[in-house]
Amino acid sequence: MHGRWTSRGLFFALAALVMVAACETVPYTGRSQLQLISAEQETQMGAQTYTQTLAKEKLSTDPVATEMVKRVGSRIAAVTGLNYQWEYRLIQNDKTVNAFALPGGKVAVYTGMLPVTRDESGLAAVLGHEIGHVVARHGGERVSQQLLVNVGVESTMAALSIGNPATVQAVGSLLGAGAAVGVLLPWSRQQESEADHLGLILMAKAGYDPHAARDLWVRMGQQKGASQPEFLSTHPSDPTRVRQIEGWLPEALQYYKSR
């Protein structure tokens, strides 16, 4: 009995050491998070998921709207400090009010989001939020949490590389990919708030008035009901969220310079 408990104690001690060693700090907020996969592995997962997602979608042929997505995305990406091979796509689907950004800088917006964002500042609020998830490595954090109770990194990467449907859907959901991947997993309340916070700072640094984020979420909240958009199924918009954004606005405005 004594030996068994000693072994269990050693296991938990080693597990605790691994978790401490695997802790990283989220930029701007300073929160500690668990990361069991490298940034390179997370980027590879993001690229593979992006390819699988776009293969099931139709891209928009609207040159003006497509260029706007690239322009806004590029301005925000430029202030992240991340040396990624950024890509931006506008997906033709007017019924889907959604957008996502995957690890490694793979960004997509559905055309159904544009009537809600209304203009570049509104779109910057959405992309700032989504790219905020990437900056904070929320996808890697969720994959890491799943790996603690599931299969290892190597088997996950191998299954992704051969396009295993179940793995593609599971990893895509964890990384926050679009509707084509399958059922989206909601971000945690903490991750959502963090992405809101980072999104405000990123859009402000990119030269977009962060007040537009508050206005966007008010509009999103007004869309709740029988025809609730997909964006709200994983990104709940409520008075608490708006109040939090209002509280972060003074900080974000310190970074804001109109272009």
Please report, for residues 45, 137, 141, the alpha-carbon distance to residue 22 in angstroms, rounded to integers and kept in the order given: 19, 13, 10
In the annotation, is 130 catalytic?
yes
Residue from 42, 130, 141, 192 carrying the catalytic annotation: 130
Other C-beta atoms lying within 10 Å of the C-beta of residue 226: 4
**Residue 144 has what DSSP assignment?**
H
Distance CA 214, CA 162 (A): 42
Half-sphere exposure of 254 (CA within 13 A, CB side): 3
Tokens representing residue 227 in the block: 């025809």
Burial class (CB in 10 A: 0-12, 13-18, 19+), 162: exposed
Distance CA 54, CA 110 (A): 11
How many residues in total does the chain contain? 259
* Helices and strands (H and E) in the chain: how many: 12, 5
The type of residue at 210 is P
Distance CA 50, CA 137 (A): 16
Distance CA 23, CA 126 (A): 28
Distance CA 202, CA 180 (A): 27
Tokens representing residue 72 in the block: 């806004």
Contact yes or no for 59/90 (Cβ under 8 A): yes
The set of catalytic residues is: 130
